[in-house]
């Protein structure tokens, strides 16, 4: 948990961390070290923006697909899928479980549509958004 939130905290409020880290560098190298840390922060912010955009698109696609299939609570399940998209690999799989369970309780044929939507959405995400 610390590994997940520490970079976000440092990105949001970098001054204390930067001044602490700069103490480990000799005075002659501190300017260069500060530049590198600034570029690292900028890269982390860009990654986070891209990840949030990808999560929003996935949530929208999931909500739309589940609504078209006729799953109750499509909006909630789409938001749930968007939040789980932050977790690499397992988040996408876990996000597909609740809609599948809801569909299996009703019409099992719709489970095929949910699986098809799952595969299509994540193929789109893999090839168009994150490649």
pLDDT at 128: 82
CB 44 within 8 A of CB 14: no
Mean pLDDT throughout 14-26? 82
pLDDT at 2 over 70: no
Q: For residues 42 and 31, is the Cβ–Cβ distance under 8 A?
A: no
Q: How does DSSP classify residue 24?
A: T
In this prediction, residue 62 carries a pLDDT of 93
What would the pLDDT profile of 51-98 be if each residue is shown by its tens digit? 899 899 999 999 999 999 888 889 999 999 999 988 878 888 898 888
Considering just the CA atoms, what is the radius of gyration of the chain in Å?
20
CA angle 119–124–127, rounded 5-degree value: 115
C-alpha torsion sign, points 94, 96, 100, 101: positive
């Amino acid at each position: 948990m610390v590994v997940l939130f520490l970079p976000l905290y440092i990105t949001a409020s970098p001054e204390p961390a930067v001044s602490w880290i700069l103490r480990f560098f000799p005075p002659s190298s501190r300017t260069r070290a500060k530049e590198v840390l600034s570029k690292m922060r900028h890269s982390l912010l860009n990654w986070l923006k891209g990840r949030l955009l990808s999560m929003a698109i996935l949530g929208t696609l999931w909500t739309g697909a589940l609504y078209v299939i006729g799953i109750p609570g499509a909006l909630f399940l789409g938001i749930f899928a968007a939040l789980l998209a932050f977790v690499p690999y397992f988040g996408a799989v876990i996000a597909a479980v609740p809609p599948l369970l809801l569909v299996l309780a009703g019409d099992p044929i719709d489970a095929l549509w949910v699986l098809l939507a799952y595969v299509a959405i994540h193929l789109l995400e893999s090839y168009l958004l994150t490649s």
